[in-house]
Amino acid sequence: MFGERRGALVALDPKTGEVLAFVSKPTFDPNLFVEGIDQENWQLLNESIDKPLLNRALRGTYPPGSTYKPFMALAALTTGKRSASTLINDPGFFMFGGHRFGSPENERGGIMDMRRAIVESSNAYFYSLANELGVDAMHDFMAPLGFGQLTGIDIQGEVRGVLPSQAWKRDYYKRPEQQRWYAGETISLGIGQGYNSFTMLQLAQATATLANNGIKHKPQLVIATQEATSPTRQSVASAPPTNLGLNPEHMDIIRRAMVGVTQEGTSTRVFAGAGYLSGGKTGTAQAVSLGKNEKYNAARMEERRRDHSLYIAFAPAEDPKIALAIVVENAGFGSASAAPIARRAFDYWLLGQYPNEQDLELVRNGQAAAPVGTPRMASAVPWPVVPASSPATPTSGTVPPNTSTNNPSATPPTPASSAPVGTR
């Protein structure tokens, strides 16, 4: 469903931590490595600008954009900085230290309570919340959820990303003037920008924990092993879960707001007519810095400089059986590219439906909303077969959930810009 685009998707069972989908795009044919890859194919893979050897689900780090906002709201409730009914005026920007922190031009603004701020993705609400919380309080709340931490998944090569704090900056930078934390750097953290840089695995785990009422499970890829000469499978025990001790009423407020996103907010069109109720949050994250007076215009930008498209979600809302996080690199608004893929993944897992070819083409081209036409039954769709003799050209066709990923030894991309801009 990614088509020719780059990105990652991680889906988890919130109740167990079992990995339901682990997708990195573009991918490659692992058969090339079975008897030792030749120099030509290795060079094609290793030097490709699309980095097919990078396991983006495990090692790709991205600013979370507005998918961070539900967790910011939960931090506000937990710390007592704000209640769900606290009203904040959103004039379309937030002023701090003489700097104007902006919002998307299509944002409605107005008086925001917590639910409306999540449903409509108000930037000003979360800019001001970040200022009230401060960087270290945000860090201390987000770390137990798994942001900027190793999840402990049973595969090697995981990276931490960056969950900023004053101590992190002092350790990371060498020059004294760089080590100092400036108050203005805090503001953009509230909308998932700034130094924030996380993997889709971390974002999926945090979403699953929220869906599971604050019970965090370690992600687990291997659930059983089997000897080649034996028909008997040996179950692999899962690690005991961790109760984060979060207030159930607070989490219910956030989950209900995320349901509002799919019913009246930024992903309404994508989830129209779904045979289940889900909660979600769109995100659009800056990939590069813009100049002080430069306005974002995707049509005028080189494709790899455009914003990333993100989405987090869980379903069914009343008893979540799947939680996911997805990024489509440089694909723009979260509702345009990432959310449509999430909808099809949910339809597959919960309803046993697989998109028809017309719908798949729309999804691949970033032109989809709710599914069109009649879906196929997933049980009737054969798994794609990659010939063992295929060249090393990266592949990016449709992959159902439960798909594995790339070589975890590749180098992760550089964390995105810290420029304070609006996201949705």
What amino acid positions are annotated as catalytic residues? Answer: 66
**On the CB side of 155, how many CA atoms lie within 13 Å of its CA?**
20
Nearest to 33 by CA among 345, 316, 392: 392
DSSP 83-135: -TT--EEE-SEEEETTEEEE--TT---EEE-HHHHHHTT-HHHHHHHHHHH-H
**Burial class, 242, CB count within 10 angstroms (exposed 0-12 / middle 13-18 / buried 19+):** middle
Backbone angles phi, psi at 102, to 5 degrees: -95, 180
Cis bond before residue 26 (omega within 30° of 0): yes
Cis bond before residue 387 (omega within 30° of 0): no
Nearest to 257 by CA among 212, 213, 317, 304: 317
Output the CA–CA distances (angstroms, integers) from residue 386 to 28, 70, 142, 238, 393, in the order listed. 9, 40, 41, 32, 12
3-class secondary structure, 325: strand
3-class secondary structure, 10: strand
Rounded CA-CA distance 95/122 in Å is: 15
Q: Which secondary-structure segment (H or E) carries 140?
A: helix 135-145
Rounded CA-CA distance 79/100 in Å is: 27
Output the CA–CA distances (angstroms, integers) from residue 99 to 111, 163, 183, 295, in the order listed. 22, 24, 12, 15
For the chain, state the CA radius of gyration.
21
Torsion sign across C-alpha atoms 168, 170, 171, 175: positive
Rounded CA-CA distance 147/233 in Å is: 34
